Structure formats: C-alpha cells, structure tokens
Chain A
Amino acid sequence: MYNFAFHRPTGLRQASNMLGKLEEAKILAGGQTLIPTMKLRLASPGNVVDLNAIADELSGIELKGRSIVIGAMTRHADVANSDVVKQHLPALAYLAGLVGDPAVRHRGTIGGSLANNDPNADYPAAALGLGATIHTTKGKYEADNFFKGLFETALGADEIITKVSFPLAKKAGYEKFRNQASRFALVGVFVSKRGSEIRVAVTGAGSNGVFRVASFEEALKKRFAPKSLEGLTIPATGMNSDIHGSAEYRAHLVGVMARRAVTRANEFAAGEGED
C-alpha cells in the first residue's frame, strides 16, 4: 500500500467538501474493493475520505410508500437479513445474501457497490432491474441513467450517494451463476414486473457492464412466465469472453438465468400470496 492521507469527516457536508478540495481523493465506504486494490498497489489515492464516522446517518432500511429506501452505508448483510426487505422485496434480500462471502457482506455497502459499478457486481442488476432511484448529495438519478459502462457512473467527483430507493415490484427475482473463482456473477439476471413495466437487467455478461434486454422484456409482457422466454437468446456480440467462459456461453446463460429468475420471481410472489 502506498502512503496516503486519511480523513474521517463527521458530517456529510464536510465529506463533500473534502472530496471537492482534496487531490486524488477516494471515498472509503465498506472498503471491499478499495482496500484490496490499494494493498495490491493498483490504486494510489492521495487522500482517503472515510465515511464510517457518518455511517449511522447514511444507514438504514425503511418502507416509504411503495418503495424501500436503503441508506448508502447499509451493509449487504443488513439488507439480506432485513425483515422489511424480505417481506416486500424478497428478491433484493436474496441478492444481497449472494454478494461475496460473510466478511464482505458485513463490511461492503450498497452505496459503495453502486458507485463502483463493477461489471460483475450484483447490486447494479437490482438497481437497473427494479428501476431504482439513486439519491446523492447533489440530486438524484434514475438507474437507467446512472450506469455508464465499466466502473463508470454518472456521479461527479465530489458527489456521494446518500440512499437508494427501490420501488416495490409485484414480482421480482434474481438468478446468479457464479464465477467459481471470484464468486462474482459470471452472469446474473434480475427480472421484475411492476404494473405493465417489465425489467430484465443483466450483470456479469456484458463487456460494457449492466444492461437491459428489451426482447426479453417484450416477451414477458405477454405472460410473466419462463415459457415466454423459451427459444429466446441474445447475440454473443458485446458479451465478455475470457478463461471463465466464451461470449457464446455467457449469451446462452443470460437466457437460462432469465428463465430461472422469472421462476424465482413467481415463487417469491406466490410465497407472499400476492399472485
């Protein structure tokens, strides 16, 4: 690890100011990406602005109207174990329980995951797949306008995510096929149905990060069932290809995981007795 200056602001405004003023500043939230990257000397921020002193202010899970609002510093384990999330958006609790390992889930935060926008991470699929709203110190973004490619988002350099609002869906499901080494998503598909709006969001597979599959969404509009997706595929172009799987394999898995995510969504919905 290279030397760096460590800052621990005690208020959100102070944190924003620091990010605006300090050279090469990085936010430390859960540290599950930043710290290993720094230890490997792949990142060398001059200043690290640690949000953990204001974690309480930025954490929490609340049902507000027809949305679940989650503070940016909320740890994955808290989302996975939240009764509110399990009751109203079981797919999101399920997804949070699949992130990394127990150590990662007890440190990693939802805000950190979305801001990092790792192309293999789970949360971007949930945000895009539910049409979440990402609130920041400067305003808010719809998920459709937030993710801008590999590790890129709409966030400005001195902008901090404060909370994420997930609209409740009538049905939602997630299916993750793990990379056996990293346990990140080789392919993860999040599906949701809210009124007439159907969303299918894919993480892990695309060479430009999380994306939606319009053809699958169209097909599911007729009937929200795995059968509706049978025979449908997506082209291999634009898929990642590496030692863990070819573009063709990933494209194929998108179909498989989407069908299974729909099944899971229907099961979750049945479990709630809503459908």
Chain B
Amino acid sequence: MSATGIGAAVRRKEDFRFITGKGQYTDDISRPGQTYIHFVRSPHAHAKIKSIDGTETKTMPGVVAVLTGADLANDKIGNLICGWAITSKDGSPMKMSAHPAIANGKANHVGDAVAVVIAETLGQAKDAGEKVKVDYEVLPAVADPAKAQAAGAPQIHDVAPNNTIYQWHLGDQKAVEAAFKSANHVTKLDIINNRLVPNAIEPRAAIADYDAGNDALTLWNTSQNPHVARLVIAAFVGMAPEHKLRVIAPDVGGGFGSKIFIYPEEVVCLWAARKVGRPVKWVSDRSEAFVTDAHGRDHVTHAEMAFDHEGKITALRAKTIANLGAYMSTFSSSVPTYLYATLLSGQYSIPQIYCEVDAVYTNTVPVDAYRGAGRPEATFVVERLVEVGAREMGVDPADLRRRNFIKSFPHQTPVIMAYDAGDYNASLKKAMELADMKGFGKRKRDSARNGKLRGIGYSTYIEACGIAPSQAVGSLGAGVGLWESAEVRVNPTGSVEVLTGSHSHGQGHETTFAQLVSERLGIPIETISIVHGDTDKVQFGMGTYGSRSGAVGMTAIVKALDKVEAKAKKVAAFMLEAAEGDIEFKDGKFTVAGTDKAAAWGDVALNAYIAHKFTGAELEPGLKEGAFYDPTNFTFPAGCHICEVEIDPETGNTDVVAWTAVDDFGVVINPMIVEGQVHGGIAQGVGQALYEGTVYDKEGQLVTGSYMDYAMPRADYLPSFKVDTTETKCPSNPLGIKGCGEAGAIAAPAAVINAITDALGTEEIAMPASPATVWAALQKVQPRQAAE
C-alpha cells in the first residue's frame, strides 16, 4: 500500500480550503446586478387562497417584481414531479398531485410559497413581502399520518381520495399468514419512526442568471446531483432545453439526502431571473429550512415476528403508514417501499416476509430520503422485533441473532434483495469483545449502586447501497437509471483531472477518488484533481446519495482508468519501439517485458499529446477516456453496533456511555474518512433516538420550528466511539467496496432504544426518548416493578 493509495489514511485534500474559510459555497457567489428574492409563505397548514394583492408591495422601495403562482401558470412553467412510480396492490398508479413551485389557489402546508418579491436588497424584499395581502380561507388540516385516511379527514388533493397516494405491498401474504399460524411465539410491536428535519450545516441556496444573448440560463445551487436537477428542470418543469441550462453545485455544506431533490425555490429563481432580466439570489435562513427542506422518516408501523420452538424466525409482517407530506417530493415514493420493505430480512434468514405500505398526504412539509432513507426504518423494525422477541422468549439477544444469521452467500431474501457477501457472526463477535460484554454485569451493578439504571442494546443492521442496477430499479418504477460516469483527462504534463458524475458535499471525494488514481497510475496525489458539480464541465452523472459514490462512482473511474492505461500502453509501445503486448505498467512506469527499456508516466502523457512517435493513421493523439458504469447488484454493508446507556431515574435523562461499531464496508479506501462517516452517522442516529422530534400540532403548525425546540445531537451528548471494521469484499464491483455513508444512522436508533428498554424493563418507549418521555415511562413501570 502506498502512502496515498487505497487503504491509506490520507488527510482530506479539501479540508485546508474549508477550515480556512476559502470554500466557495453558493452564498459566496454573487452576480453583477443581482437581485434578491423573498418567498411569501403560507402561515396556515391548509388554506384556500382567495386573492393575492401585491399593489402596495410594488410601491415599496427597491421592489423589482411581485410574482404569484398564477404568473407561473401563465408562463406555462410545469410542476415539480416525483420520479419513481409506485403501483398499488390493486394495480392502480400512485396518485401524484400537481406540485406548482408557487401554490396557486390553495396552500397545503405551513411554508408553502404563495408569492415572491424580488428587490434590490434582501431587506427590501422582506419588508415588501410583508405588504403582500393574501386573503386566506383557512381549512381544517391533518398532520398525523395515522389520521390522514380517516373518514372525514380534511382532503388535501382531489386526485387522492382519503389522502392515500398508494397502497403497496411486497411479499407472499398467504405464506406469511400460514407461518404465523404455526408459530411457537409471536412478537408484536407498534412503532413510530419519528419525523426528522435534516439540518445540513449549509442551508439551501440558489442563484439564477439569464444570458439573453444566448437565451441560456445558469443556476448555482446546493445540489447533491446537478445533472438530475438540470434534467428535471428542463424536461419536466420545461424551464429551458437541457443544452440551454447549466447547473453548478459548487462547494456544498452537507446534504444527508435533503439536497437531492428538485425544490420550488430553484425553479422560481430561474423563472424570475429570465422574467426580470437580472440575476436572482435566494439563500434559505434556518427558519425557512425547517418548513421547506424535505423532512425524513415519519412512519407509523405495526410489525410482528414469528418464531419456531428453536427460536428460528419463520416470518415477519409489517403494516406501515408513511407520511409523504403535502406534495410528493422527487424520490419520496421509493423511500417507504423499495428502500424499506426490501430490507426487512435484516441479517437473518427469514423464509417469509410480507409488508404493506400506505403512503399518505398530510398538511406537512414533504418527506423524502434522509440519511439511510427507508433502511433506518427497516432496521428499526427488524432489530426491535428480534431484541424484544429474545427478551420475551428468555433467550440471549446475541444468541438469538446468531441462530438466525444468514451464513451462506449469495442469499436470496423473500423481499427482492440478493445479498452477495457478508459475515455477520464476525462483526457481532468482534463488537461484543470491544464492548466488553462480559464486564457488563459488573458495570450495571456499579450503576445501580449510584442510583442509575444501565442498559445495553444491539443493532445488527444491514443496508442496501451502491444504488443501483438501472434495469432493476427501472422495473420497480424508477424514472432514471442509477449508473455513474467518469472521465479521466490526462494532461500533457502527466497531471490528471477526473471528471465525476458523483458530487461531494462532505464525503471527501477529492481525497478518496484521488487515492484511487494515485494507486492505479502510481503518481503523486497532489497531481490529481477531482472535478464535479458543473453540468458544463462534467458529462451527465447521477450524483451522490445512498452510499453510492464509492461503489458506483469510483468503479466508473476504474473503468475509465482501464481505458487510459490501455491507450497509454499503445503510446509507450511506439516510444519504446516494442509490441503493445510486451508493455507492462507498474508504479507509474512503463517497461518492456524482459528488457530494461522504460518510459515514465509523464513522458508517455507528453508523447500522447505531441504525437511525434506515431502517425494519425496508427494512433489517435491525446489521453482522455470516459466510462459509464452500471452496477450489477446493490452492495450490502452490514455490521453490529452496541450501545450502552445509563439512565438517571430521577430525571429520566439518558447518557450514552459507550458505543461500539464494527462495520463491514468491504474494502476501505481511506479508513480515516470512513471513521468520520461512521461517527457522523451514529450521531444522527442517536439524534433520532434521543433528541430529534418533529412536532406538528393539530392545526398543522410546526411546533419545533427552530433550535429552541428541535434538539440536535451535540458533541458533548456523545461518548467517544469505538469504531472498527471487518471485511468481506463486495463481489459486485472490482474495488470490493460496499459503502459507509449511512451505516451509523441506520444502525444507531435500534441500538439506543434496545439499550434503554433493557435498562427500564419496558418496551414502551417512543423516539425521541427525551428525559420527559423516559421519566413518564418509569412512572408507569416502577409501581409495576414494586408490586412484583
């Protein structure tokens, strides 16, 4: 292993820029003559817009334009779309409502834009925005997904009776029912997977600029996938033809999924820039982010697991209501279906699984993919059922897991997925050692002496990453393919630019992708640049989400590097006057087999461009190759997380006192970056379990609309994590990579809640398990324990 190659803990190349304040984020970009846009948003969760009067607004200082949904419709700007078609069990297509970028006629959630004001300064735009007179007729609202389908519930979209978007299912219902009938033990749980607000450190932003000379638009925005944004805005919204629209996603400060989607604000900025003939800039503030960024999770589930007399799982069934909010966001439909039910087998050999999912509209912010997207929800269901099942049957939870682990691969689950490789025993064993399970009894007694309750919980999770084989997802309703692209450009001096369709917004691609190139070409990492995020520079690509950029994005680079090497060998053959087949390439040097003839990488690159050693008839000059890679399967990262908590029964406060994570990510390119990803993921997962609760009241008002009420996980709330890995190479890609970006967030919530319920002796704990929630649970359980 070289110091900068695969497996080296290379320091992130991008960090100097970020930590010295030299990053170039969307808000750092300004255009000559730019104006500022302010969105006037509905304060009501559900209201008819009877009229909008902008007369006074137009007279306010600095106002350039006041625009409404009616203007948008007059200009024939199309609706936003959801790009994954789900079919209900009765064969009917999902009920997708119109989603105009500015509400026209009816506002459907607090924060739904109803008008925009464009002015010379942001202050002027906000001042003028207050003068827009909107006459609302407030309608009854529904925010709770469990109540959305009830008779008499407020109807949000005519296209979706009972607010039901689809009623989907997966698996063999009859076989599952039979298995439950003959079960020795059945464990049942009601689960609410709490709604989360993503909270990337950089709020969303957009600047649109119209070039009248070329009738072309440029959009800078905070996107995880600028090409997909361009495609949707061109082809579906109809803003401009694809070749007349450039989308640039410069440095982006975190996304966690929330910046995958195509949002109203960027569409409106583009439209308004052309309309007013000047650049239009929008930067979300944090309050706006709470009511406009797509939220995550929000499932209500009843789940059951059947066991035979040996504790073998014979079947699992789940019925889930998934809240998709007021409109269907870009990939919302896929999250509670193909990213959720397909993972309900966990790490276990479960012969039969059946899952039903009803997706519903409510008067809340749209819900879409958020770190893990469906897989945290699935893991929570499976890992809670297994843990509770073990307790109910009086079996050690680790032992019950071992009895049910899948041990041979490939393994076809009853819910589509074909796991390719893994060793679940290995990660469980290593985690139990690291967590000192043997010493837990003593630690629990020590805690008890101090008046504290100690508990420990496992989460042996699995996820499907490397999203995804295009044909497979196409057959499941995806509107796009999920391959990735790369182009490797070798310069005449031998330095290399890699143009990738992936997008880095915290993942460290500028380092890890360069490590791959450094390893393959044997050249210093400083001579390699990673270029991404600009549709004018980079060939079409699918962007970054679903822990796909290593497994899919880097494999595309491998394929391009293969071609570059093949071409370079041809050039070297001419230079060294040898047969192409005799050229060997190693450590940045081309040699002729069995001779001492050699050419350095830089000389070969130069010769490729000066083209003095071969004629045009013999070889094309230049050294630049591109590749597209479509994966053959998902990848299946898996592992074991163990959480240890100490609870103060007097206050209900939970301290996470120890955390062990042993993950199998396949081959690791940069262990330091991987560890960082695991840390961040665990923090977000602990956030879901203990702190982050999104609360809407009955009127559909977001009660937790700021950090005064929405608790984020903080560094001082968390212990130092013990992080380690095991490795089974992923057989589905040449690098053997599985992906690591979401594992922590997927594994953590179940581990935390399993630990808390272990400590408390009750399974009735809702997330987030705030001190008040835990204390209230203890008030119910303590008299019971005292009576026993």
Interface residues of A, Cβ cutoff 8 Å to B: 1-3, 40-41, 177, 179-182, 243-246, 249, 252-253, 256
Complex contacts, B772 vs chain A, CB 8 Å = 244-246, 249
Inter-chain CA distance A243–B712, complex, in Å, is 15
Say yes or no: A181 contacts B123, CB within 8 Å.
no
Complex contacts, B423 vs chain A, CB 8 Å = none
Told that A243-B693, A253-B651 touch, could you supply 9 new A-B pairs with CB distance under 8 A? A177-B771, A180-B690, A180-B770, A181-B709, A181-B711, A243-B695, A249-B772, A252-B775, A256-B650
Report if B782 contacts A (CB, 8 A): no
Say yes or no: B709 contacts A180, CB within 8 Å.
no
Interface locus among B86-94, B184-192, B700-708 = B700-708
Say yes or no: B287 contacts A181, CB within 8 Å.
no
Complex contacts, A2 vs chain B, CB 8 Å = 127
Inter-chain CA distance A253–B779, complex, in Å, is 13
Inter-chain CA distance A116–B711, complex, in Å, is 24
Say yes or no: B775 contacts A249, CB within 8 Å.
yes
Report if B380 contacts A (CB, 8 A): no
Chain B nearest Cβ from A123, distance in angstroms: 18
Residue in chain B with minimal CB distance to A255? B650
Which of B123, B690, B771 neighbours the largest number of chain A CB atoms within 10 Å of its CB? Answer: B771
Which of B126, B127, B711 neighbours the largest number of chain A CB atoms within 10 Å of its CB? Answer: B711
Query: How many A-B residue pairs lie within 8 Å, measured between CB atoms?
Result: 47
Inter-chain CA distance A51–B42, complex, in Å, is 38
Contact pick for B709, options A3, A41, A182, A246, CB 8 Å: A182
Inter-chain CA distance A41–B126, complex, in Å, is 10
Residue in chain A with minimal CB distance to B122? A1
CB contacts under 8 Å to A, within B386-406, are none
Chain B nearest Cβ from A10, distance in angstroms: 28
Residue in chain A with minimal CB distance to B691? A180
Interface residues of B, Cβ cutoff 8 Å to A: 123, 126-127, 287, 650-653, 690-691, 693, 695, 703-704, 707-712, 717, 770-772, 775-776
Complex contacts, A244 vs chain B, CB 8 Å = 709, 770, 772
Residue in chain A with minimal CB distance to B695? A243
Chain B nearest Cβ from A97, distance in angstroms: 13
Inter-chain CA distance A1–B125, complex, in Å, is 11
Contact pick for A181, options B650, B652, B707, B776, CB 8 Å: B707
Residue in chain A with minimal CB distance to B127? A2
Inter-chain CA distance A253–B703, complex, in Å, is 23
Which of A3, A181, A243, A253 neighbours the largest number of chain B CB atoms within 10 Å of its CB? Answer: A181
Complex contacts, A179 vs chain B, CB 8 Å = 711
Inter-chain CA distance A60–B644, complex, in Å, is 46
Given that A246-B776, A256-B650 are contacting pairs, would A182 and B707 also be in contact in the complex, using a CB cutoff of 8 Å? yes
Complex contacts, B708 vs chain A, CB 8 Å = 181-182
Inter-chain CA distance A216–B427, complex, in Å, is 53
Which of A2, A41, A245 neighbours the largest number of chain B CB atoms within 10 Å of its CB? Answer: A245
Sorted nearest first, the 10 A-B pairs with minimum C-beta distance are: A181-B711, A180-B711, A245-B772, A182-B708, A256-B650, A249-B772, A243-B695, A181-B709, A180-B691, A181-B710
Residue in chain B with minimal CB distance to A184? B708
Given that A2-B127, A180-B691, A252-B775 are contacting pairs, would A243 and B287 also be in contact in the complex, using a CB cutoff of 8 Å? no
Say yes or no: A40 contacts B287, CB within 8 Å.
yes
- What is the interface of chain A mostly: helix, strand, loop, or mixed? loop
Inter-chain CA distance A2–B710, complex, in Å, is 26
Complex contacts, A246 vs chain B, CB 8 Å = 772, 776
Inter-chain CA distance A179–B691, complex, in Å, is 10
Inter-chain CA distance A244–B651, complex, in Å, is 13
Complex contacts, B710 vs chain A, CB 8 Å = 181
Say yes or no: B771 contacts A1, CB within 8 Å.
no
Inter-chain CA distance A2–B717, complex, in Å, is 37
Complex contacts, B776 vs chain A, CB 8 Å = 246, 249
Inter-chain CA distance A133–B652, complex, in Å, is 36
Please list 13 pairs of residues, one from A and one from B, whose beta carbons are closer than 8 Å in the complex, sorted by A's number.
A2-B127, A3-B123, A180-B691, A181-B704, A181-B707, A181-B708, A181-B709, A182-B707, A182-B709, A245-B771, A246-B772, A249-B652, A249-B776
Complex contacts, B653 vs chain A, CB 8 Å = 177
Inter-chain CA distance A3–B650, complex, in Å, is 48
Residue in chain A with minimal CB distance to B709? A181
Complex contacts, B771 vs chain A, CB 8 Å = 177, 180, 245
Chain B nearest Cβ from A138, distance in angstroms: 33
Complex contacts, B711 vs chain A, CB 8 Å = 179-181
Residue in chain A with minimal CB distance to B692? A181
Complex contacts, A256 vs chain B, CB 8 Å = 650-651
Inter-chain CA distance A246–B772, complex, in Å, is 8
Complex contacts, A253 vs chain B, CB 8 Å = 651
Inter-chain CA distance A188–B403, complex, in Å, is 49
Inter-chain CA distance A177–B707, complex, in Å, is 17
Given that A180-B691, A252-B775, A256-B650 are contacting pairs, would A243 and B703 also be in contact in the complex, using a CB cutoff of 8 Å? yes
Inter-chain CA distance A181–B693, complex, in Å, is 10
Complex contacts, A180 vs chain B, CB 8 Å = 690-691, 711, 717, 770-771
Which of B710, B775, B776 neighbours the largest number of chain A CB atoms within 10 Å of its CB? Answer: B775
Complex contacts, B651 vs chain A, CB 8 Å = 177, 253, 256
Residue in chain B with minimal CB distance to A177? B651
Residue in chain B with minimal CB distance to A250? B772
Chain B nearest Cβ from A259, distance in angstroms: 9
Chain A nearest Cβ from B429, distance in angstroms: 35
Complex contacts, B770 vs chain A, CB 8 Å = 180, 244
Inter-chain CA distance A249–B775, complex, in Å, is 8
Residue in chain A with minimal CB distance to B653? A177
Complex contacts, B691 vs chain A, CB 8 Å = 180-181
Complex contacts, A40 vs chain B, CB 8 Å = 287
Inter-chain CA distance A244–B768, complex, in Å, is 11
Chain A nearest Cβ from B756, distance in angstroms: 15
Inter-chain CA distance A40–B126, complex, in Å, is 11
Inter-chain CA distance A188–B770, complex, in Å, is 18
Complex contacts, A3 vs chain B, CB 8 Å = 123, 127
Complex contacts, B717 vs chain A, CB 8 Å = 180
Residue in chain B with minimal CB distance to A253? B651
Complex contacts, B693 vs chain A, CB 8 Å = 243
Chain A nearest Cβ from B244, distance in angstroms: 38
Inter-chain CA distance A1–B127, complex, in Å, is 9
Complex contacts, A41 vs chain B, CB 8 Å = 126
Say yes or no: B123 contacts A243, CB within 8 Å.
no
Complex contacts, A1 vs chain B, CB 8 Å = 123
Complex contacts, A182 vs chain B, CB 8 Å = 707-709
Complex contacts, B712 vs chain A, CB 8 Å = 181
Inter-chain CA distance A243–B773, complex, in Å, is 10
Complex contacts, A243 vs chain B, CB 8 Å = 693, 695, 703-704, 709
Complex contacts, B709 vs chain A, CB 8 Å = 181-182, 243-244
Residue in chain B with minimal CB distance to A260? B650
Residue in chain B with minimal CB distance to A244? B772
Residue in chain B with minimal CB distance to A256? B650
Complex contacts, B287 vs chain A, CB 8 Å = 40
